[in-house]
Amino acid sequence: MASKEDLHDWVADAIRAHGGKAKLVQVAKYIWDNYEAELKRSGNLLYTWQYDMRWAANALRNQGVLRSADASPRGLWELK
């Protein structure tokens, strides 16, 4: 069963799959396309994952994995 913590890896994987930078919708589509079954087995996470992936992105920024929102173009998530 997937958890909110798994979203950290999934968000990073999605951005990597798009060449190191991706828009929110691209990240969401990647996660759904690749982890739909896990999300469906994850109880309430199925209903909150799109919100939770935004928190995962913030955590990745704090960990230095993603560029800060100020350093990236609006609406673009970028790996460092």
**Do residues 8 and 27 lie in contact, with contact meaning Cβ atoms separated by under 8 Å?**
no
pTM comes to 0.95
Span 62-78, mean pLDDT? 96
Predicted local confidence at residue 70, as pLDDT = 93
Report the distance separating Cα 24 and Cα 51, nearest Å.
11
Q: Report the mean per-residue pLDDT for the chain.
A: 97
| Helix extents (H) in 3-64 | 6-17, 24-40, 45-62
Helix axes 45-62, 6-17, angle to 10 degrees: 70
Report the distance separating Cα 42 and Cα 10, nearest Å.
15
Predicted local confidence at residue 25, as pLDDT = 98
Domain range summary for the chain, segments of one domain joined by +: 6-78
Q: What proportion of the chain, given as a percentage, has pLDDT over 90?
A: 99
Instruction: Note the pLDDT tens digit of each residue in 41-69.
Output: 999 999 999 999 999 999 999 999 999 99
